[in-house]
Amino acid sequence: MDRLTPVEREDLYSTLAAIRALGPALDRDRAAARQIADAARRALPDVDEVTIGRVLLLVSASLPQLRGAGHDLRSAENILALSAARLTVPDGAESL
């Protein structure tokens, strides 16, 4: 955590505090989180873990914002996929 910025660190602490409040449900979530982190490490071997963690933290912070704006899970999935496409589709490629 020492490689995060102060703002990132505060966001992470706030997120973790909210997660801890879940109590027993946390164990199930922890197992799924481990699977996602492991899959990200395998899929992105040239990207350092702090950068991967920053991206996952950004995504986790965006989900409540999307939910608060009235988006359901399917819509949030679409928004995240479209955001990824904007970052990965070469310039000049067909617009989404």
Instruction: Tell me how crowded residue 37 is: count the other CB atoms within 10 A of its CB.
Output: 14
Q: Are 15 and 57 in contact (CB under 8 A)?
A: yes
Q: Is residue 90 pLDDT above 80, yes or no?
A: no
Can you spell out the DSSP letters for 30-72? Answer: HHHHHHHHHHHHHH-TTS-HHHHHHHHHHHHHHHHHHHHTT--
Question: C-alpha distances in angstroms, 89 versus 44, 58, 73, 83?
Answer: 18, 20, 24, 10
Q: How many residues make up the chain in this entry?
A: 96
Q: Are 29 and 74 in contact (CB under 8 A)?
A: no
For the chain, which residues make up each domain, given as ranges? Answer: 6-88
pLDDT digits 0-9 by tens, 30-87: 889 999 999 999 999 999 999 999 999 889 889 989 999 999 999 999 999 888 888 8
Q: What is the pLDDT of residue 37?
A: 95
